[in-house]
Amino acid sequence: MSPPLAAPATGNDGAGGYVRVSVIMANYRGAAYLGAAIASVLRQSMAALELIVVDDGSADDSVALAQSFADRDARVRVVETERNGGPAAARNLGLALARGTWVAVMDSDDLMHPARLERMLRAAARTGADMVADDMIFFGASLPPAGRSLLGAAAPQEPMTVSPAMMLQAGMPGRGVPPLGYLKPLIRHAAIGDIRYDTALRIGEDHDFYMRLLLAGVRFVVIPEALYQYRRHGSSISHRLGVAAASAMLAAHGRLVQGLAPDVPFAGDLAGRTRMLQRTLAYETLVATIKARRWPQAAGQIVRRPGLLSDLVQSTAAHLRRKRGRRAAAQPGDPLPQAQMRRLLLLLGPQTARPDVVVDEVIVLAPDDPRAMAGVAMRLSALAGRRALHLVAGDAAGLDAAWSVACPARISLLPLAMTDPKLPLPDSQTTEAVA
């Protein structure tokens, strides 16, 4: 259960006056998760924002749900397209309507920490960046006990500048660069100029957009914090490629290459990404051929590209592991401790004495270490996907950490947790010792 919508922070209202951040949320048949996503934007600690929900031809209750938020909060605008045009077209429509000095893109099934936008704005001011991104905590699907984030072990300890070469290497085998195209950055509106998402792409449109921004001279910085919560579920289009999508990605990369001089410093990375996309297209073509039971053609493709066989074996093994994980998660016999509710007390550390409460576990936080805090959020988000998780915030740092965990069943507060006026208080708060 997502924490309920809290009142926005006080200050300049984005409804009709100054808008500092425009949040663009493209949505297609996302009613199941849309309300929680909208609520997480509206509870941001900085109020001078607008949320533009672009519904891309949904047939579910998405528009009515989004409009119900707009009826209560003038910062929400709901726009409908006549037909489904894909996320790139929807985001371009949002960009055309955005009034903010900064623009943030968010998926309609994800969540964000209440202080995310404010902290990213501060990071942009500190680093002089035009584009700032944070790590993403995974939640929803079966995850390892320690949880997972997008950047994982490659997450920076200090702000990291992303170069065009790094963006090209992102996700390439053997390069050690995580898939940076999945990040959801905050971007200075003026830096975007007339650059828009490529509407020919339905997958990979973010990577292509970020790459073209970098080539235009935009300074892109990734910070150590992990304040974006990325929902994993079976209906997400991010995980379904196919021949058409792979072909479109290769074509888009080809257009990018054609617009560059042959002697650019990252020419080798351009060529490496071309080879990777060519192999991806060949693999997707092989899979489509096998599904169509065209065995002689499939055999011929493997003969021409023997490496595709190992790709097929690895992909099949990974699919089977995911399937086993989903089956295990659905079993009634939970391998975790049998207590129906696990209660965790979150503390600032040595500065806060442990109150006299009975809990299953005490987690001593390190609020000055963003990667340690990300580790706590990863672990607890994974745990929340397996059982009803009751988080007890013992102080302000504990409340901050609790908001980093996606979908806990309940957040309870001890008195010291209410000392940060910028963080919203959940409706389920308990302001006395939890026995």
Q: How confident is the model at residue 416 (pLDDT cuts 50, 70, 90)?
A: confident
Are 178 and 277 in a shared domain? no
- pLDDT score, position 337: 46
What total of structural domains would you count in the chain? 3
Last residue of a domain, one of 330, 356, 371: 330
**435 within domain boundaries:** no
Last residue of a domain, one of 330, 349, 382: 330
**225 within domain boundaries:** yes
Q: What is the pLDDT of residues 330-349, one digit of tens each?
A: 554 444 444 445 667 677 77
**307 within domain boundaries:** yes
Residue range(s) defining the domain that contains residue 322: 241-330
Q: 107: domain CATH number?
A: 3.90.550.10
For residues 46-57, give the mean pLDDT: 97
CA distance 222 to 217: 16
**388 within domain boundaries:** yes
- pLDDT score, position 385: 84
Last residue of a domain, one of 330, 357, 392: 330
CA distance 277 to 142: 28
Are 29 and 51 in a shared domain? yes
- pLDDT score, position 360: 85
- pLDDT score, position 334: 46
**431 within domain boundaries:** no
Are 171 and 289 in a shared domain? no
Which three-class secondary structure state does DSSP give residue 366?
coil
For the stretch 235-274, what's the b/e string if a residue is b when 16 or more beta carbons lie within 10 angstroms of its beta carbon?
ebeeeebebebbbbbbebbeebeeeeeeeeebeebbebbb
Whether pLDDT at 417 is above 90: no
Are 280 and 177 in a shared domain? no
What is the Cα Rg of the chain in Å? 23
Q: What is the pLDDT of residues 59-73, one digit of tens each?
A: 999 999 999 999 999
Are 37 and 143 in a shared domain? yes
- pLDDT score, position 362: 87
Are 352 and 214 in a shared domain? no
CA distance 58 to 426: 31
The DSSP code sequence of 149-187 is: BSSGGG--SS-EEEPHHHHHHTT-TTS----GGG---EE
Whether pLDDT at 433 is above 50: no
**253 within domain boundaries:** yes
Are 280 and 199 in a shared domain? no
Q: What is the pLDDT of residues 90-143, one digit of tens each?
A: 999 999 999 999 999 999 999 999 999 999 999 999 999 999 999 999 998 778
- pLDDT score, position 325: 63
Q: What is the pLDDT of residues 272-302, one digit of tens each?
A: 999 999 999 999 999 999 999 999 999 999 9
Are 131 and 199 in a shared domain? yes
Are 219 and 258 in a shared domain? no
**426 within domain boundaries:** no
* pTM exceeding the 0.85 threshold for the entire prediction: yes
- pLDDT score, position 153: 94
Are 155 and 250 in a shared domain? no
More confident residue, 388 or 381: 381
**4 within domain boundaries:** no
- The answer to whether 4 and 427 have CB atoms below 8 angstroms apart is yes
Are 319 and 269 in a shared domain? yes
For residues 299-324, give the mean pLDDT: 88
Are 266 and 368 in a shared domain? no
Q: What is the pLDDT of residues 207-262, one digit of tens each?
A: 999 999 999 999 999 999 999 999 987 666 555 789 999 999 999 999 999 999 99
